Amino acid sequence: MKAEQVKTMMEELEARFHKLNIETAWLDGEENQIGETLRALLPVTKTGDHMLLEVMVTHLDEDMDLLDLFTSLIMEVGPGYEELKEVMLDWNLDSPIGAFGIYRPSRTFFHRCTFPFPCGALPEELATQAAYLIDRCYEVAASVFPEAVRISGHD
């Protein structure tokens, strides 16, 4: 997918977030990434807690690209780190989409889901598929959020 097509798709996603009053921001892309990363702060509790979603597209090969949805649930896991690692294994077995992990250098607890798609995909169609995947990933991540925070030791 060309950079301008990725931009069109990401702008469509950003517009969907804005319709829901969800705050967004842009981050420069990494190596192999096509275009910028779209970030969104997703509300997860009625008391003001949020998860940080990052949406990016990476080039895989001449035929396929990869939509990558990375959601940070806890930016730095607290004293319950070891217990959360154990519970996370069970959550991964039960997760219908994506997987949970802990990024060790920063101790960030995350959910990640990837979706390969043909390089020739239409940006509008991909935006619709991405929105669907974001909804499903949000449901999965939000379902464990309260327990993850409790285990982590963060109030």
| Residues 6+ positions from 19 with CB-CB distance below 8 Å | none
Rounded-to-integer distance, Cα 58 and Cα 118, Å: 12
Write down the pLDDT at residue 42: 96
The pair of structure tokens assigned to 99 is 């997987």
Per-residue pLDDT tens over the stretch 22-75: 999 999 988 889 999 999 999 999 889 999 999 999 999 989 999 999 999 999
Average pLDDT, the chain: 94
Instruction: Tell me the CATH number for domain 3-152.
Output: 3.30.1460.70
> Quick one: how many helices (H) and strands (E) in the chain?
3, 6
> Is the pTM of the predicted complex or chain greater than 0.85?
yes
Strands annotated E in the chain: 24-27, 37-43, 50-59, 64-74, 99-103, 108-118
Per-domain residue ranges for the chain?
A: 3-152
